């Protein structure tokens, strides 16, 4: 009974306060499924406000699964440029091709089939099922996780483990409006139950929230350490041209243009020039100007004057910014 009351309160709040987002527009069911797929990939590790203009541009250029499956990689990466984590874009295209080949051009509507798609894990599968197919799945993203932790006052290390949170999320109940409800819970976490300074006086479920009762809104967190990686980055220069290579060596920034690099294992007295955070990795970069005759596959000379108009990953652009200042 309590779950039904919670559900009604959250949906009522959502109907009055939800944001107008491009992937929430009223469109055909087929388009809604496609919009959900694209938005969920883009929203992985990226904020909503950042995603909106990229989503609009992407949909304008690739309005369907079929067009996504056929797009060439250069155009795909150009449309994705600025969002980072380019493997998401490549996985999207792979997913589109699999949907065309194995699922008759239709986005799968069951958990097992969704997990066969590149880049789709448990969270994304649950989000697609809830939002695109109105199934009673609650995707446990950072926003919903935060609401859950505060609502139940989960503080102990064992309480905030993913497995326990997946069990506890049933407290939110179910509804015939599963699509709206999943988005409502996400919205509640994003707009009201913020990481810092939650707006409790506007929260529809505050009266039953244990953190609100205790006036303690701090969040227990699983601390993840970034993996420290060390690289020598070589700079080859001719006038205003720099040698770049197509990356086939490292798992990050796969097939994108980077400066030649070598990874070091636990170097001593390593004095980096740059530090770059990428997913759960901290890249420590030492830059060396080089004139050796080493040959690289897929190498080309890049004109620095074309930096603003050329498709390069943000990591490579950051290196150029450093070189200009030093």
| CATH number of the domain encompassing residue 302 | 3.90.79.10
pLDDT tens for 50-94 read 999 999 999 999 999 999 999 999 999 999 988 888 889 999 999
Report which of residues 308 and 112 the model is more confident about: 112
Percent of the chain residues topping a pLDDT of 70: 98
- pLDDT surpasses 70 at 3: no
Matching residue, tokens 């529809």: 204
Mean pLDDT computed over every residue of the chain: 92
For residue 313, pLDDT beyond 80:
yes
CATH number for the domain including 122? 1.10.340.30
Domain count, the chain: 2
- HSE at residue 247, side-chain half, CA atoms within 13 A, is 20
Tell whether 314 is covered by a domain.
Answer: yes
Q: What gap in Å lies between CA 256 and CA 77, rounded to an integer?
A: 9
Domain shared by 131 and 74, yes or no: yes
Q: What is the pLDDT of residue 5?
A: 84
Instruction: Assess whether 115 and 248 both reside in one domain.
Output: no
Residue 221 falls within a domain, yes or no?
Answer: no
Dihedral in degrees, nearest 10, Cα atoms 111, 147, 43, 177 = 50
pLDDT tens-digit series, residues 39-51: 999 999 889 999 9
Is the torsion defined by CA of 113, 118, 120, 121 positive or negative? positive
3-state secondary structure the chain: CHHHHHHHHHHHHHHHHCCCCHHHCCCCHHHHHHHHHHHHHHCCCCCHHHHHHHHHHHHHHCCCHHHHHHCCHHHHHHHHCCCCCCHHHHHHHHHHHHHHHHCCCCCCCCHHHHCCCCCCCHHHHHHHHHHHHCCCCCCCCHHHHHHHHHHHCCCCCCCCCHHHHHHHHHHHCCCCCHHHHHHHHHHHHHHCCCCCCCCHHHCCCHHHCHHHHHCCCCCCCCCCCCEEEEEEEEECEECCEEEEEECCCCCCCCCCEECCEEEECCCCCCCCCEEEEECCEEEEEEEEECCCCCCCCCEEEEEHHHCCCCCCCHHHHHHHHHHHHC
The answer on 43 and 155 residing in a single domain is yes
State residue 288's pLDDT score: 93
Same domain? 301 vs 168: no
Residue 30 and residue 96 share a domain: yes
Q: How confident is the model at residue 107 (pLDDT cuts 50, 70, 90)?
A: very high
Asked which of 214, 235, 250 is the last residue of a domain, the reply is 214
When pLDDT is averaged across residues 159-185 and rounded to a whole number, the result is: 92
On the question of pLDDT at 267 being above 90, the answer is no
Residue 195's DSSP bridge partners are: none
Full residue range of the structural domain in which residue 310 is found: 227-325
pLDDT of residue 226: 74
| % of residues, the chain, pLDDT over 90 | 71
pLDDT on residue 1: 53
Q: Is residue 107 part of a domain?
A: yes
Return the residue matching tokens 């990689």: 73
The answer to whether residue 220 sits within a structural domain is no
Indicate whether 222 belongs to any domain.
no
Q: Is the domain of 59 the same as that of 138?
A: yes
Confidence category of residue 36, pLDDT binned at 50, 70, 90? very high
Residue 219 forms part of a structural domain: no
pLDDT at 2: 62
Q: How buried is residue 106: exposed, middle or buried, by Cβ count under 10 Å (0-12/13-18/19+)?
A: exposed
| Residue whose C-alpha is closest to residue 281's, from 199, 234, 224 | 224
What does the alpha-carbon distance between residue 138 and residue 172 come to, in Å, rounded to a whole number?
Answer: 9
pLDDT band for 190, please (50, 70, 90 cuts): very high
pLDDT over threshold 90, residue 18: yes
pLDDT value for 224: 67
Q: Are residues 44 and 168 in the same domain?
A: yes
Instruction: State the virtual CA torsion across 253, 257, 258, 262 in degrees, nearest 10.
Output: 70
49 & 112 share domain: yes
Contact between 249 and 256 under an 8 Å Cβ cutoff? The reply is no
CB burial readout 265-287, b (16+ within 10 A) else e:
eeeeeeeeebebebeeeebbbbb
Cβ 37 vs Cβ 132: under 8 Å: yes
Same domain, yes or no: 131 and 30? yes
40 in catalytic set:
yes
Residues 253 and 206 in one domain: no
Dist CA 103 CA 9 (whole Å)? 38
Find the catalytic residue in 3, 40, 159, 262: 40
Residues 145 and 184 in one domain: yes
Let me know whether 264 and 196 are in one domain: no
pLDDT digits (tens, 9 = 90+) for 125-168: 999 999 999 999 999 999 999 999 999 999 988 888 988 998 99
The residue among 160, 190, 214 that closes a domain is 214
In Å, the largest CA–CA distance within the chain is 74
Taking 80 as the threshold, does the pLDDT of residue 250 lie above it?
A: yes
């Amino acid at each position: 009974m309590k779950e039904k009351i919670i559900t009604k309160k959250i949906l009522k709040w959502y109907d009055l306060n939800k944001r107008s987002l491009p992937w929430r527009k009223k469109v055909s069911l087929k388009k809604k499924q496609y919009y959900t797929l694209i938005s969920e990939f883009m929203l992985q590790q990226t904020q909503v406000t950042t995603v909106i203009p990229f989503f609009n541009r992407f949909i304008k250029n690739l309005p369907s699964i079929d067009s996504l499956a056929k797009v060439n990689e250069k155009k795909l990466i150009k449309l994705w440029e600025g969002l980072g984590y380019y493997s998401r874009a490549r996985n999207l295209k792979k997913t589109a091709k699999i949907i065309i080949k194995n699922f008759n051009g239709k986005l799968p509507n069951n958990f097992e089939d969704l997990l066969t798609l590149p880049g789709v894990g448990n969270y994304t599968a649950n989000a697609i099922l809830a939002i695109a197919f109105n199934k009673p799945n609650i995707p446990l993203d950072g926003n919903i996780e935060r609401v859950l932790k505060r609502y139940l006052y989960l503080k102990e290390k064992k309480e905030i483990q993913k497995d326990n949170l997946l069990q506890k999320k049933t407290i939110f109940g179910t509804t015939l409006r599963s699509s709206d409800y999943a988005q409502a819970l996400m919205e509640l976490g994003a707009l009201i139950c913020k990481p810092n300074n939650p707006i409790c006086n506007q929260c529809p479920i505050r009266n039953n929230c244990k953190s609100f009762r205790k006036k303690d809104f701090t969040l227990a967190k699983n601390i993840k350490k970034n993996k420290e990686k060390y690289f020598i980055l070589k700079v080859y220069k001719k006038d205003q041209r720099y040698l770049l290579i197509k990356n086939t060596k490292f798992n990050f920034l796969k097939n994108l243009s980077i400066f030649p690099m070598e990874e070091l294992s636990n170097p001593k007295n390593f004095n980096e020039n740059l530090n770059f955070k990428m997913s759960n990795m901290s890249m420590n970069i030492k830059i060396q100007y080089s004139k050796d005759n080493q040959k690289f596959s897929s190498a080309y000379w890049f004109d620095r004057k074309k930096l603003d108009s050329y498709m390069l990953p943000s990591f490579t652009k950051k290196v150029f910014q450093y070189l200009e200042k030093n």
